């Protein structure tokens, strides 16, 4: 599965190395979870204004958030089909705020948000019986694989 990163914001500098890293860690998550080579996931980097609008429109929440995942498979995950699995939308401004508050690097914070969003696209959700702890453990396993 291809992981495509699109930077639609200009508030936070996004070096090419970060874009490449997001493609790499995203592909790792998809392989780890058994995704086939066909299809793609899109990671979209936006500002707070953009994600605020999406959060209000699709979740009814009138505030910016850090990450949103939009599964385009209609509720089921069809990993073998040649289609777009979904979009992970990350607010770079929120990522910057959180990395400062948590003492992380921007790379680590954005990677965490990307992994979190991709896992949601792959069906990790409390409604599917996966606990928050199970998802957290999976995220930490992936981040440790990349020394984050």
Q: What's the CA angle centered on 89, arms 13 and 41, to 5 degrees?
A: 105
The percentage of the chain sitting over the pLDDT mark of 90, rounded to a whole number, equals 70
The residue among 91, 80, 103 whose CA lies nearest residue 30 is: 80
Q: How many CA atoms lie within 13 A of 9 on its CB side?
A: 22
Out of 33-37, 132-136, 143-147, least confident range: 33-37
How confident is the model over 62-90, as a mean pLDDT? 79
Ordered domains of the chain (ranges, CATH): 2-145 (3.40.390.30)
Handedness of CA 114, 117, 121, 123 (dihedral sign): positive
- The answer to whether the beta carbons of residues 32 and 112 sit under 8 Å apart is no
What is the distance between the alpha carbons of residues 119 and 116, in angstroms, rounded to a whole number? Answer: 5
**Residues 120-139, mean pLDDT to the nearest whole number:** 82
| Mean per-residue pLDDT, 67-87 | 71
> How much is the average pLDDT of 99-121?
96
**Average pLDDT of the residues in 135-148:** 93
């Amino acid at each position: 599965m291809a992981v495509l990163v699109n930077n639609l914001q200009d508030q936070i500098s996004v070096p090419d190395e970060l874009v490449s890293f997001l493609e790499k860690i995203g592909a790792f998550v998809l392989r780890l979870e058994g995704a086939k080579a066909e299809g793609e996931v899109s990671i979209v980097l936006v500002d707070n204004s953009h994600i605020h609008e999406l959060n209000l429109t699709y979740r009814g929440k009138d505030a910016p958030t850090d990450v949103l995942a939009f599964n385009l498979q209609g509720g089921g995950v069809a990993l073998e089909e040649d289609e777009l699995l979904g979009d992970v939308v990350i607010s770079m401004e929120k990522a910057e705020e959180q990395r400062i508050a948590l003492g992380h690097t921007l790379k680590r914070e954005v990677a965490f948000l990307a992994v979190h969003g991709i896992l949601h696209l792959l069906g990790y959700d409390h409604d599917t019986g996966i606990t928050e702890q199970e998802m957290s453990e999976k995220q930490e396993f992936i981040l440790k694989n990349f020394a984050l």
